[in-house]
Amino acid sequence: MSDLLYSEEEEALRSAVRDLLADHCDAPGVIARTESDAPHDLAAWKALTDGMGLAGLLVPEAQGGQGATHREVAVVLEELGRAVAPVPYLTSAVVATEALLELGDEALLAELAAGRRIGALAVALNVAAGGAYKVVRHEGGALHGELTGVADAAVADVLLVPADDGGLYAVDAADATVTPQVSFDLTRPLATVTLNGAPGRLLGDAEPAVRRALRTGAGLLASEQLGLADWVLTETVRYLKERKQFNRPVGGFQALKHRLAQLWLEVVNLRAAARNAADALTTGTDADVAVAVAQAYAAPVAVHAAEEALQLHAGIGMTWEHPIHLYLKRAKSDSIAYGTAGVHREALAGLVDLQAP
Amino acid sequence: MIDAAELKRRTAELLAAQPPATTDRLDFLRARFDAGLAWVHYPEGLGGLGAARSLQAVVDAELEAAGAPDNDPRRNGIGLGMAAPTILKYGTEEQKQRYLRPLWTGEEVWCQLFSEPGAGSDLAGLGTRAVREGDGDWVVNGQKVWTSSAHNARWAILIARTDPDVPKHAGITYFLCDMTDPGVDVRPLRQITGEAEFNEVFLTDVRIPDSRRLGAIGDGWKVAQTTLNNERVAIGGMRLPREGGMIGPVSKTWRERPELRTHDLHQRLLKLWVEAEVARLTGERLRQQLALGQPGPEGAGMKLAFARLNQEISGLEVELRGEEGLLYDDWTMRRPELVDFVGRDAGYRYLRSKGNSIEGGTSEVLLNIVAERVLGLPSEPRTDKDVAWKDLAR
């Protein structure tokens, strides 16, 4: 059975990341940044990577990383979710890194692990492991084509691009045209990647690398969703203890108490599911089922939590200045990222032998 | 502190002294209790060794491998899950010595005389009276309901009103009631499943000696909290393998009967399968916390999840069975010894699961408990808190 608890070291890591984000990533700052040309918080990214070495958690020490596991990464993602931090951690330190771990490109891995460069897998954010993804044309040693929906491409230094010959190529961002798209989630913006004869360095077969990267992305996204849901629940409970209407704290009305208790139950369940996925990815035991279960459960819960938070904050929840909208946008976007709940349920049908009619 | 190796050594010692193959079942169970291997986290002399609760699994595995008899825990769920921890916490030395051993071996089955026709969710409003006579005995009159196992029980945990002149929570006292005493009348209460798994219990001038009072006079509500907390853990906290709960039979039916499958049912089944698996993981996480001596508040939610899932899954299975879903296995009135949620057919499971959101605290009350005790939200305005029980409107 999986270890579903947090170790003391993991709790220490959590505190350190939370403290750092409290200093770097407060909500007014994140909101202000989303309205600028540079929504990503590269100062926070530098503090996480240079200062704490967190970009290399999944990379073995021999290859320039920290040699930690998915369990520690999951704790980092919980905290990043709590802060809706606009840093390319999931996309670079998890998804791109897992693709490179599959292909074994040590030089590039070391650069990503050290946080010296940011990587992005040039596959649309909504694609699930095993799902179809767009590829570019490989012709005469150069790459041609356009890929859309690539998360965090705007800050990537290197793009991992699948091509029609079945290869995955490393392309310098400087050799591509990266055009930001107007994104629903302001804190994890998407971009279009256009390649007009860009040089690419072949890393290996795309299929296994993309599959592994997206499976890990989906599994650990559940921890980001957990952090997000936990934050909105905590904030909403705090607000409803303070906010008075009809001469009583609003949180004393049973209609609201039951909704919050129900939400708490969902978050408790999500914690077990997310921990199970992180542990299964670490040990490799039962990982496909654990990831599918976690994603099928996590997405609706995170969205529900953010939607409830907005409704229970009422008028203030609808404003731009209150951060709840950042959480709702992230939660809804996360519910599509790396496959919807429905896609993961269908995957599960095959995995646990509950076939469709 | 006793560790796993020491427990294995003591278990081997027990097996050597009382070989299961040649030892009478009850003799073996009594010897096991006396060796402190019954519930290892209990104190020495009371069936335990003061060891970590998680180490019980070590003993159980060794004994099972040796073919030792168990104490048939399902037959005495209320005794083991609720009466025992309450007696351990509040009992006198004499009470612990008298009751815990035959309770654990299963020689004496226990039931719980708490709920009343007029006091369900508002349990503290109960009206069963216990009046002290000159000789110190208590004389009890009243009616209890939803009493499972009363028809098999030798003993009952009972709460009764001993002081109607104080507010309702303050005037209750906790007793151990002898079910064979004159004036205890157990009548079957037939339920929607057709079974009479529960009982009504009428108490008419039942005499209970003061030596069978558990805790101080007027402290019954506090003592009962121990029982109720343990009840919810017992109901929601079973350890299950994947597909070990209600989702198991419906998944099996789905696999074996492709002709019954529809797209709508497929979507609903997958969603419930995920929820059942996640609830199982939450239960496992709770147990891992308990094993480290760090109980989390998750337990409060386990029973809620269990009730809703059982109801939705069993409802789905009735639909899945189509024409068979229109039938029922048997309406004959029976008096089962065990509470069985899953043993019969889909229609029975559907009907029995309706009780899961009522028994042991309704889901609505449990949501209030989560909101107030876990999330710290303000409690409901109370109009009955400072009013003497006898002055409450009824």
Distance in angstroms (rounded) separating the CA atoms of residues A33 and A24: 12
Tens digit of each residue's pLDDT (9 = 90 or more) over B357-383: 998 889 999 999 999 999 999 998 888
Among the listed residues A108, A231, A2, A154, the one whose alpha carbon sits nearest the alpha carbon of residue B278: A2
Residues B244 and B185 in one domain: no
Please indicate if any CB of chain B lies within 8 Å of the CB of A11.
no
Please check whether residue B92 lies inside any domain of the structure.
Answer: no
- The size of the A-B interface in CB pairs under 8 A is 124
Q: B229 and B195: one domain?
A: no
Q: What is the pLDDT of residue B60?
A: 94
The beta-carbon neighbor of B278 closest among A251, A261, A293 is: A293
Whole-number percent of chain B with pLDDT over 90: 80
**Do the domain assignments include residue A2?**
no
CB nearest B281 (choices: A4, A256, A260): A4
Given a contact cutoff of 8 angstroms between Cβ atoms, the answer to whether B274 and A297 are in contact is: yes
Same domain as A216, residue A198: no
CATH number where B283 lies: 1.20.140.10
Interface test with B, best of A246, A293, A353, A355 (most B CBs within 10 A): A293
Q: Which amino acid is at B47?
A: G
d(CA A261, CA A247): 23
**Interface check A258 vs B, CB under 8 A:** yes
Q: Which of A249, A265, A352 is facing B301, going by the closest CB pair? A: A265
Q: Give the model confidence (pLDDT) of B37-71 as tens digits.
A: 999 999 999 999 999 888 888 999 999 999 999 99
Mean pLDDT, residues B231-238 taken together: 58
Mark whether A92 and A141 lie in a shared domain: no
Closest-CA distance, B45 to chain A, in angstroms, reads: 34
Give the pLDDT band of residue B302 (cuts 50, 70, 90): confident
Alpha-carbon gap: A344 to the closest alpha carbon of chain B (Å): 10
What pLDDT, on a 0 to 100 scale, did the predictor assign at position B121?
A: 85
Residues B203 and B341 in one domain: no
* Whether A261 and B368 lie within 8 Å, measured CB to CB: yes
CATH number of the domain at B133, please.
2.40.110.10
Q: Is A254 on the interface with B (CB under 8 A)?
A: yes
Mean pLDDT computed over every residue of chain B: 93
* Same-domain check for residues B266 and B368: yes
| Same domain? A145 vs A227 | no
- Total domains in chain B come to 3
CATH number at residue A164: 2.40.110.10
The pLDDT value given to residue B291: 75
Beta-carbon count within 10 A of B93 CB: 9
Range of the domain at A231: 208-352
Q: Give chain A positions within 8 Å (CB) of B279.
A: 269
B240 and B369 assigned to the same domain: yes
List chain B residues with CB under 8 Å of A346: 270
Contact B249, B272 (CB under 8 A): no
Closest CA to B243 of B254, B235, B234, B233: B254
For residue A241, list chain B residues with Cβ-Cβ distance below 8 A: 376-378
> Do B58 and B4 share a domain, yes or no?
yes
Of A272, A276, A345, the CB nearest to B270: A345
Q: How confident is the model at residue B384 (pLDDT cuts 50, 70, 90)?
A: confident
> Could you give the residue numbers annotated as active site of B?
231
Side chain identity, residue B206: V
Asked, for residue B317, whether it belongs to a domain, the answer is yes
Q: Are B324 and B343 part of one and the same domain?
A: yes
Residue A308 tokens read as 């409830």
* A297 contacts B278? CB cut-off 8 A: yes
Paired with B159 in beta bridges are B174
Nearest CA in chain B to A236: B375
User: Looking at CA atoms only, how far is residue A247 from chain B in angstroms?
Assistant: 12
CB–CB contact B274 A297 (8 Å): yes
pLDDT band at B233 (very low <50, low <70, confident <90, very high): low
CB-based contact, A351 to chain B, within 8 Å = no
Same domain, A329 and A246: yes
Has residue B103 been placed in a domain? no
Task: Check pLDDT > 90 for residue B102.
Answer: yes
- The shortest CB-CB distance from B281 to any of A241, A276, A353 is to A276
**In this complex, do A237 and B375 lie within 8 Å of one another by their Cβ atoms?**
yes
**ipTM over the 0.90 cut-off:** yes
- Put simply, the chain A residues between 219 and 248 with a CB less than 8 A from any chain B CB are 237, 240-241, 248
Residues with Cβ < 8 Å from B295, sequence gap 6 or more?
A: B286, B289
Three-state SS string over chain B comes to CCCHHHHHHHHHHHHHHCCCCCCCHHHHHHHHHHCCCCCCCCCECCCECCCCHHHHHHHHHHHHHCCCCCCCHHHHHHHHHHHHHHHHHHCCHHHHHHHHHHHHHCCCCEEEECCECCECCCHHHCCCEEEECCCCCEEEEEEECCCCCCCCCCEEEEEEECCCCCEHHHHEEEEEEECCCCCEEEEEECCCCCCCCEEEEEEEEEEECHHHEECCCCCHHHHHHHHHHHHHHHHHCCCCCCCCCCHHHHHHHHHHCHHHCCHHHHHHHHHHHHHHHHHHHHHHHHHHHHHCCCCCCCHHHHHHHHHHHHHHHHHHHHHHCHHHHHCCCCCCCCCCCCCCCCCCCHHHHHHHHHHHHCCCCCHHHHHHHHHHHHCCCCCCCCCCCCCEHHHCCC
The A residues from 76 to 95 touching B (CB cutoff 8 Å) are none
Is residue B151 domain-shared with residue B212, that is, in the same domain? yes
Give yes or no: residues B308 and B192 share one domain.
no
Residue A259 located in a structural domain = yes
| Partner residue opposite A240 with nearest CB, options B266, B281, B377 | B377
- Check whether residue A16 and residue A110 sit in a common domain: yes
Q: Among the three residues B69, B100, B128, which one is the final residue of a domain in this structure?
A: B69
Q: Which chain B positions have a beta carbon within 8 Å of A354's beta carbon? A: 251, 254-255, 266, 269-270, 273
Kindly indicate the confidence band of residue B234, based on its pLDDT and cuts at 50, 70 and 90: low
SS3 A82: helix
Over residues B181-188, mean pLDDT: 97
Domain boundary among B43, B69, B95: B69
Task: Judge if B271 and B299 occupy the same domain.
Answer: yes
- Taking contacts as CB-CB distances below 8 angstroms, the residues of chain B near A2 are 281, 284
Residues recorded for chain A: 357
- CB under 8 Å, gap of 24 or more: what pairs does B117-122 form? B117/B143, B117/B145, B118/B394, B120/B362, B121/B361, B121/B362, B121/B364, B121/B365
Statement to judge: residues A199 and A228 lie in one domain = no
Domain end (from A189, A205, A221): A205
> B347 and B238 in one domain?
yes
Q: What is the DSSP string of A309-337?
A: HHHHHGGGGGSSSSTHHHHHHHHHHHTTT
Among the three residues A205, A233, A249, which one is the final residue of a domain in this structure?
A: A205
CB contact under 8 A, A354 and B274: no
Residue A325 sits in the same domain as residue A223: yes
pTM, full prediction: 0.92
Q: CA dist A208 to A93, A158, A203, Å?
A: 18, 19, 12
B393 or B181, which is more confident: B181
The reply to whether A154 and A27 lie within a common domain is no
Domain containing B286 equals 223-373
Indicate whether B120 belongs to any domain. yes
Asked whether residue A130 is assigned to any structural domain, the reply reads no
Q: Enumerate the H helices of chain A as residue ranges.
A: 8-24, 27-34, 42-46, 70-82, 97-103, 106-114, 206-242, 254-283, 287-313, 324-334, 341-351
Neighbours of A291 (CB within 10 A): 33
Best of A2, A269, A346 to disrupt the B interface by mutation (most B CBs within 10 Å)?
A: A269
Query: From the first residue on, what is the mean pLDDT of each consecutive set of 10 residues in chain A (357 residues)?
Result: 94 98 94 93 96 96 96 98 98 98 96 97 98 97 97 98 98 98 97 98 98 98 98 98 95 97 97 98 97 98 98 96 97 98 98 97
Residue A255 in contact with partner chain B when CB distance is under 8 A: no
Q: What is the CATH number of the domain that holds A338?
A: 1.20.140.10
- Single-letter amino acid code for the residue at A67: G
Residue A22 domain flag: yes
Cβ contact, residue pair A272, B262, below 8 Å: no
| Residue A65: CATH number of its domain | 1.10.540.10
- Both tokens assigned to A224: 């980001």
**Is the same domain home to B143 and B284?**
no
- Cβ neighbours of A260 in B, within 8 Å: 371, 375, 377
- Residue at a domain's end among A190, A205, A220: A205
- Let me know if residue B391 belongs to a domain: no
Q: In this structure, is residue B87 part of a structural domain? A: no
The number of distinct structural domains making up chain A is 3
CA distance A53 to B198: 62
Task: Check whether residue A308 and residue A216 sit in a common domain.
Answer: yes
8 Å CB contact of B258 and A348: no
What pLDDT was estimated at residue B237?
Answer: 52
Confidence bin at B337 (pLDDT 50/70/90)? confident
Residues A112 and A155 in one domain: no
**Would you say residue B121 lies in a domain?**
yes
Range B319-329 average pLDDT: 96
